[in-house]
Amino acid sequence: MGRKGVETLVGLFVLLGILAILFLALRAANLGNFVIGETYLVTARFDNIGGLKVRSPVKSAGVTVGRVKAIVLDTNTYQGQVTMELEQSVTFPDDTSAKILTSGLLGDQFIGLVPGGSDRNLQAGGQVKLTQSAVLLENLIGQFLYNKAADAPATEPSAPAK
């Protein structure tokens, strides 16, 4: 193989490396999956959003049906208000509940929607009323340690030896 052939192969290898790094960067930034088609916005309020981020997925039954568009603090209720962008082709009953869940033990957080049984659908600009905040691992460990300390039997001072 001549010098020109080697240079072409090296160039292709470098190009593939750049494409792989770009792909990984998009996946890490959660920009690899875009919502395609028409969407509508709904909001939900949570006491604690944990590590939820803008562009986090919104899933129902494990299927991505939208993305988190914005997260702001409501200064009246001091709750996190999350605006979700849902695919127009997927409609949910107006008594749908939303939970902040974690992928795996220490993975990224996402919103899980659980459809209710109402005959009326959630409209664009509507609000999900039933919400469950993020479960924080630090809080669980703290509660466990506090409960263990409270359950420990009180020890009486031992009598001096004679």
Q: Greater confidence, 151 or 12?
A: 12
With a CB cutoff of 8 Å and minimum separation 6, the contacts of 136 are: 48, 50
- Give pTM, 2 decimals: 0.66
- Of the listed ranges 17-26, 28-37, 39-48, the one predicted with least confidence: 28-37
pLDDT of residue 29: 64
pLDDT of residue 156: 59
SS3 85: strand
pLDDT of residue 39 exceeding 80: yes
Distance in angstroms (rounded) separating the CA atoms of residues 111 and 100: 5
| Cβ-based neighbour number of residue 92 at 10 Å | 21
pLDDT of residue 109 exceeding 90: no
pLDDT of residue 33: 56
Q: Greater confidence, 33 or 65?
A: 65
Select from 130, 62, 63 the least CA-distant residue to 97.
Answer: 130
DSSP for residue 36: P
pLDDT of residue 35 exceeding 70: no
pLDDT of residue 32 exceeding 70: no
pLDDT of residue 154 exceeding 80: no
Distance in angstroms (rounded) separating the CA atoms of residues 34 and 132: 26
pLDDT of residue 13: 92
63-74 and 57-60 strand pairing: antiparallel
DSSP for residue 73: E
Q: What is the mean pLDDT of residues 15-31?
A: 80
- List, as own/partner pairs, every contact residues 142-149 make where C-beta atoms lie below 8 angstroms and the sequence separation is at least 24, other chains included: none
pLDDT of residue 158 exceeding 70: no
Q: Greater confidence, 157 or 100?
A: 100
For the chain, percent of residues with pLDDT exceeding 90: 34
